[in-house]
Amino acid sequence: MADRVAELVRTEITEDALLLIIERPPANPLALDLVAALEAALDVADREAGNRIVIVRSALPGFFVAGADIKHMVELDEAGFRAYGDSLRSAFDRLAAPERISIAAVDGLALGGGCELAMACTLRVAGPEARFGLPEVKIGLLPGAGGTQRLPPLVGRGRALEMMLTGRQVEAAEAHAIGLVDRLAPGDATATALDLARELRANSRVALESLIRSVDASGVAPAAAGRRVAADEVTELFARGDAQEGLRAFLERREPRFEQ
């Protein structure tokens, strides 16, 4: 079983990134074994990624992740369905933690749970053939692994509802235009994701993580609470982060030497 799990989501380390490479033919459905493999790969990232950026990609042409495992779902009772959803949400929430900076490199279909997986990443890069969608309404469900919560902050309430209520697929160019995708790749999305990882790694890691926490707090009510989080974060960076090195480097007209 351990060998099977390792095969479904392989890990590969480069100078700037730790890649999680998904391969469960024919379309990377989020079956229980794949979810377990994703959790195991995140364990590897916890141990070995260091300050590298985590990149999630597929090894299958035409597919990022096609969605949840419908063949499994039809066999479940209510308790089993909730347990399956909990397993998906747990893995995606681990990926979305602010201390794990991640990029989804999407080539091909990212539908249902696959779109939710991409949205759990910090940023998304899409190749020309990428397609995104949350079609759960077409089978009488809703996106249950975080989609209803993660899509509106990215694209706005109206666009999010339109996508989810119609269940339509969104091509890469439109996904970029509405804010679901952060960068378009001219070809292979992974190559562009690696370039982005290198760009991110040039900055202060503690500042990157602090930025993510501050932006995430912008949705906290009341608004003053989010502003207080950001104020505390920037003060902490000034006192104990890389800010002193960054400020000196600016005055000395050199590149900063941040701790990595």
In this structure, are 183 and 210 located in the same domain? no
Whether residue 148 lies inside any domain: the answer is yes
Residue 191, H or E segment = helix 189-201
Out of 37, 67, 96, 116, the active site residue is: 116
Q: What is the CATH number of the domain that holds 84?
A: 3.90.226.10
Mark whether 165 and 230 lie in a shared domain. no
Range of 18's domain?
Answer: 2-201
- In the residue annotation, 223 being an active-site residue is answered as no
Mark which of 162, 185, 201 sits at the end of a domain.
Answer: 201
Note if 116 is an active site residue: yes
Verify whether residue 68 is a known catalytic residue: yes
Q: Looking at the structure, do residues 210 and 183 belong to the same domain, yes or no?
A: no
**Both 223 and 185 in a single domain?**
no
Catalytic one of 108, 112, 113, 146: 113
pLDDT the model gives residue 128: 95
Tell whether 95 and 148 lie within a shared domain.
yes
Is 179 labeled as catalytic in the residue annotation? Answer: no
Domain count, the chain: 2
Q: Of residues 136, 145, 209, 241, which has the active-site annotation?
A: 136
pLDDT at 233: 84
What's the pLDDT score for residue 221?
A: 63
Whether residue 197 sits in one domain with residue 105: yes
Q: Give the residue from 201, 216, 232 where a domain finishes.
A: 201
User: In this structure, are 213 and 92 located in the same domain?
Assistant: no
Does 124 share its domain with 189?
yes
Residue with tokens 């397609």: 131
Same domain, 84 and 124: yes
Same domain, 147 and 35: yes
Q: Which pLDDT belongs to residue 1? A: 44
Q: What is the pTM of this model?
A: 0.91
Identified catalytic residue from 45, 49, 68, 130: 68
* Beta bridge mates, 132: 110, 170
DSSP calls for 134-172:
--GGGGT---TTTHHHHHHHHH-HHHHHHHHHH--EEEH
Series of mean pLDDT values for 10-residue runs along the chain (260 residues) = 71 95 94 95 93 95 90 88 92 92 96 96 96 92 90 94 95 97 96 96 90 84 78 82 81 81
State both tokens at 172.
Answer: 């890469």
67 within domain boundaries? yes
Closest to 176 measured CA to CA, from 238, 230, 142, 132: 132
CA dist 58 → 40, 76, 170, 183, 205 (Å):
16, 27, 19, 17, 26
